[in-house]
Amino acid sequence: MNKKIAIISNVSGSLVSFRGELIKKWLDLGYEVYTLAPEYKSNHREKLSNWGAKAEKYDLNRSGMNPFKDLKSLINLANKIKEINPDYIFAYTIKPVVFSSLISKQIDLKGMYSLIPGLGYAFNGGGLKNKIVNKIAVLLYNISLKNNDKVFFQNPDDLNLFVDLNLIDQEKTVLVNGSGVDTEEYYNTEPQAEKISFLLMARLLKSKGIIEYIKAAEIMKNKYSEVEFKILGSPGNGPDAVDMDYVDQAAKKDIIDYPGRVNDVKSYIAQSSVYVLPSYYREGTPRSILEALSMGKPIITTDNPGCRETVVDGKNGFMIPIKDYKILADKMEYFIKNKEAIIEMGKESRILAEEKYDVHKVNQKIIENMDL
């Protein structure tokens, strides 16, 4: 009888887009793989089923802080895990990690593994609500993580923070290079050096640097009206959301082009000259940057955890201070004035993607450290 792996997420899309190659690798190795998510879009369920995975649902109050709803989610997940009876659990994002780790103490497992794909809102700083959420998150991680055999981190800042806070022992930590990127699917392209176009892909959150991007674009548009500035992504929600009126007005003034959320970003990346993510969100390693690296685009991003690892400053792009739209505009202007740098830095980005962020190399490290 094949051994079972349960991979637990808070959304079905990430199982396909971010963990798909890992799931397929487990299946190739002969494991029976169960995916657990609160809801499945029909195309996600179909893909997982076609690969050979078994898609299961569980109840999850994804973003709320209601302790009664969370307790109900915990009990529901515990019953589902006991029903599956896995040999290994692999969980990621805060609630699946905390709940699965707590449940793992009550069942017989060969291995409990967690992935911390960035720290997000709970560690993003800010007002009183952020501080309360942070205290709760630290407490829950402290209670739950110590039962893990290994915890995977996507950047050294997050790893070091968890060790410093005594949430996990150093010897149980593993650093991986983000979620990785399929360098064949995100094929190499020649950067567009004639008609200059800048691209940002993210949810429309303030902490993703959307406002700084639009401000820098406005400065550049006043000097170089022919240059394009695109934003792809869904509207945000909550206190960190960018006011959509602000975005719409920028689009009406022809400062930016905002197609919204698109299903296949590859054509947009291919048509762009430079990829920009001025984030100060607590990223793991932004997937959008990895996709742009793989498709041979220079990068402008911030000296921010998860972002800073993707740029060798001056070699495949530029690293800028967070929240500084004027320096962002300066770096944009550098590429506008030095088109040959777009070509040369784009080549370096592709090399970095192949050497450091190839998804198969990332997954191999995870599998080796799971002792499968």
**pLDDT tens across the length of the chain (372 residues):** 689 999 999 999 999 999 999 999 999 999 999 999 999 999 999 999 999 999 999 999 776 667 788 889 999 999 999 999 999 999 999 999 999 999 999 999 999 999 999 887 667 666 666 677 788 888 889 989 989 999 999 999 999 999 999 999 999 999 999 999 999 999 999 888 889 999 999 999 999 999 999 999 999 999 999 999 999 999 998 888 999 999 999 999 999 999 999 989 999 999 999 999 999 988 889 999 999 999 999 999 999 999 999 999 999 999 999 999 999 999 999 999 999 999 999 999 999 999 999 999 999 999 999 988
- 327/229 Cα distance (integer angstroms): 16
Hey, CA dihedral for 218, 222, 223, 228, is it positive or negative?
Answer: positive
Is the Cβ–Cβ distance between 317 and 349 less than 8 Å? Answer: yes
Beta pairing partners, 260: 232
Query: What is the pTM assigned to this prediction?
Result: 0.92
C-alpha–C-alpha distance, residues 70 and 275, integer Å: 38
Q: Phi, psi (5° rounding) for residue 46?
A: -65, -45
Determine how many CB atoms are found less than 10 A away from the CB of residue 237.
11
Q: Rounded CA gap, 305 and 118, in Å?
A: 9
What's the CATH code, domain 197-356? Answer: 3.40.50.2000
- Which part of the chain has CATH 3.40.50.2000? 4-180+358-369, 197-356
β-sheet bridge partners, residue 55: 35
Question: Cα(362)–Cα(176) distance, rounded to whole angstroms?
Answer: 6
Query: For position 61, what pLDDT does the model report?
Result: 79
Q: What is the pLDDT of residue 134?
A: 80
Rg (CA), the chain: 21
For domain 4-180+358-369, give the fold: Rossmann fold (3.40.50)
